[in-house]
Amino acid sequence: MAYTPMIQQYLKIKADYKDCFLFFRLGDFYEMFFDDAMAASRELEITLTSRDGGGEERIPMCGIPYHSAEGYIKNLVEKGYKVAICEQVEDPKAAKGVVKREVVQLITPGTVMEGGMLEETENNYLASISLFPDNSFVVAYNDLSTGETNVTIIDSGWQALLSELYNRPIKEVVVSTDMDHALQSDLKERLQVTISYQDSTAIPDSLNYLMANLTDERLIESFGRMLNYIQSTQKRSLDHLKPAKEIELKQFMSLDMFSKRNLELTETILRKGKQGSLLWVIDQTVTAMGARMLKKWLERPMLNRARIEERFNLVDGFLEQYFERESTRDILKSIYDLERLSGRVAYGNVNARDLNQLKISLQKIPELKELLMKFQNQRVQALGEEINPLDDLFELLDNSLIEDPPITIKEGGLIKDGFNGQLDDYRDASRNGKKWIAELEQKEKQETNIKSLKIGYNRVFGYYIEVTRANLHLLPEGKYERKQTLTNAERFITPELKEKESLILEAEEKSVDLEYQLFIKIRDQVKEYIPQLQDLADKISRIDVLQGFATISELNDYHRPSFNDHREVNIQEGRHPVVEKVMKNEAFVPNDVSMDKDTNILLITGPNMSGKSTYMRQLALTSIMAQIGCFVPCSTANLPIFDQIFTRIGAADDLVSGQSTFMVEMLEANHAITNASENSLILFDEIGRGTSTYDGMALAQAIIEYLHDHVHAKTLFSTHYHELTTLDQSLKQLKNIHVRAEEYQGKVVFLHQIQDGAADESYGIHVAKLAELPDSLINRANVILNQLESKQTDSADKSNPLDDDQQLSFFINEKKSNQTEKSFKKNDNNLIQNIKSLNLMEMTPMEAMNELYQLQKKANEK
């Protein structure tokens, strides 16, 4: 099929970008053809048309204006697609044949740079993964918009890798082409990321400085994979990339993907949004940089006690001086996103307004520095001393750029008068020329007596004298040369006007060209300050987060926690930070958490809706807040430093992997049991409820015993199996607590108070009544409950409630006991024979008691 040369050019370029939408520049539009056109019309809801491409059939086509392309590109990238931008790279007037075109940038979910396409308070990470023969993984992270680059080694398996990636806002993952397809599919399905490929890992000599901090060859390889991918897609300067830093995961609390989800640290489970999360509560930052840093701190709570205490001391300093802190907040609000501005400078897509934002920000730095020095806390003063105000850079920008420059940088109007002598000369010629034009217009009006005569300008004809048809007879002959005829007027020029026009336009053209050259020079000078700007951005972010901690602590009555090395938990009047905020005008009932060094497990009983899950979560959230350096919601707190937090709270099927609620529950429980240490915190809520009653109780008891005997982690275990509360008699490190509830006039009243000991009943039917189930249903449930409670054993109903004095092991051995009872019914004379057949030496005391109970029961019936 003989396509036209232009379509052939399109197909040749498209062949190198098969997994992308190719935005093919034609004049003022980006056009798409063939399958791209059909897919884009569907995804972007734009009109699908067609054109003649030289073949037998018309080619599907759609297009978007280039000046509004950003919105369309953002739409596609947010859906996980890649967009290749193909521009004209030669002047169409100089082209012989088809204008030369090349892909100048590949925009992917992980390499977005345009400000309008980024969430200002969120990092936008690209990650690369490398697998090594020792089954270790190395992950490299890069936020291209800020230049941040990190690498880390994960040697505890694939699930640990998934959890690590889940804890970061990853948009795209780069892997080798030979990576196992099953692993690739798992990444896509579990993390909802775009997969890209790069096999080259060699780092160019010119970029060796970026790996100066890396010594492990595995780290260098993974970083090299990512760096090559960035270079191949961006095709421009990467001067803003910071040297890669290794993240040693052992220095931070481990939060697996289950825990981060269940605890709703940065987003809620249902709405997938920030509101309702812990981040939503504690975020009192006022800069985009600070908001991103806070989220990173929350994703990686620290284990280093000295570093945590250092943050506490700074929060104390900000907390002590309200007015100075509020003034600090006001100054910070005027500081723009220095991190991303630096990236745009290096990238070459910064405009004069961006540099003006940089100037405004730098103007505030000396004021901030001076204010921090007024704090009495020496550590806060030190923050001020460390700040470099970059006076030279501010002076450069202040002397060069006007206050309100245009968005475009190629049409002039950017540079201040007095910055460049040559530019001032051009401007003077242009301004004087325009003044002469205005004087000429007045002169011509007087000489011709035509009051409506005017001198105008357009790009096609230049300057002209316009006279309406009704006044043409007033023009003197021979002086005016006709230039253009309009419906109701004629346009003329004169030799004098033509001469002046040449001088004016030459000055304006040279002025615009010179302004552009001067702006590029200024931008290149600013580029030299990028490392210092990034360092300043880091310090501003840190100040913002710490003042935010002080602000939220004062607003919500949070207090400084302390730490101990004895694995003791002692929280007085603890509160759940999120629930407390959501309740607004209602009073939150605070509760204590007490676990001495000899108590590892709190077994929590109580009715549904009474607050068991809230109580468990608030301990985890309090620990996380403490280990990021924030004060915590309680009157006092003395905590161990937890190395890991594991949670199994809530029940939900994993539809992606096709796993049931119970399977998810068991997998999460296994993950916690096998990975926890004695310095970990485990939260298990209603383990075992996803299966039959007896199976569930058996598993719950076995898990509790295993945690008690082998893991020794601090554990909060809530349950509705009241039979488990007798375990405190055999497990020395287990303590019963319950959530208090009272029955009043036939209704249950939840007091939300934690007390020692086990709950006496579950109030399930009362809760159903609160949910306003039909009265007839509630009444029937009460009848059934009374019938069940009147029976000692009912093997046909596995949800049969049990008397408090019956033990879980009774049910585990129920099958054996039932078989004994049936044998009695067949032949009562076998009673003695059955007693003789019991092997008492191999039975546990509980099994013996169960058998004796059945024998006594049968004997009484006879």
- Could you give the 3-state DSSP secondary structure of residue 714? strand
Q: What is the pLDDT of residues 367-391, one digit of tens each?
A: 999 999 999 999 999 999 999 999 9
Q: What is the pTM of this model?
A: 0.83
For residue 6, is pLDDT > 50? Answer: yes
CB 448 within 8 Å of CB 475: yes
pLDDT averaged over every residue in the chain:
87
Task: Compare 592 and 587 and report the one with higher pLDDT.
Answer: 592
For residue 225, is pLDDT > 60? Answer: yes
Measured between alpha carbons, how far is 852 from 203 in angstroms, rounded to an integer? 77
Q: What is the pLDDT of residue 813?
A: 42
Please identify, in words, the CATH class of the domain defined by 421-493.
mainly alpha
Residue 550 CA from chain centroid, whole number: 23
Measured between alpha carbons, how far is 427 from 564 in angstroms, rounded to an integer? 72
CATH of domain 115-251: 3.30.420.110
CB 282 within 8 Å of CB 577: yes
User: Where in the chain are all domains bearing CATH 1.10.1420.10?
Assistant: 283-390+529-556, 421-493
Q: For the residues 204-213, what does the mean pLDDT come to?
A: 92
For residue 801, is pLDDT > 50? Answer: no
Annotated binding-site residue? 54 = no
- What topology is assigned to 5-107 in CATH? MutS, DNA mismatch repair protein, domain I (3.40.1170)
Q: How much of the chain, in percent, has pLDDT values that exceed 70?
A: 88
| CATH homologous superfamily of 562-772 | P-loop containing nucleotide triphosphate hydrolases (3.40.50.300)
Annotated binding-site residue? 610 = yes
CB 612 within 8 Å of CB 604: yes
Annotated binding-site residue? 612 = yes
Q: What is the pLDDT of residue 812?
A: 36
For residue 298, is pLDDT > 60? Answer: yes
DSSP class of 587: P
Please name the CATH architecture into which domain 283-390+529-556 falls: Orthogonal Bundle (1.10)
CB 850 within 8 Å of CB 857: no
CB 234 within 8 Å of CB 106: yes
CB 240 within 8 Å of CB 147: yes
φ, ψ of residue 272 in degrees (nearest 5): 55, 30
User: Where in the chain are all domains bearing CATH 3.40.1170.10?
Assistant: 5-107
Pairing of strands 29-33, 21-26: antiparallel
Annotated binding-site residue? 606 = yes
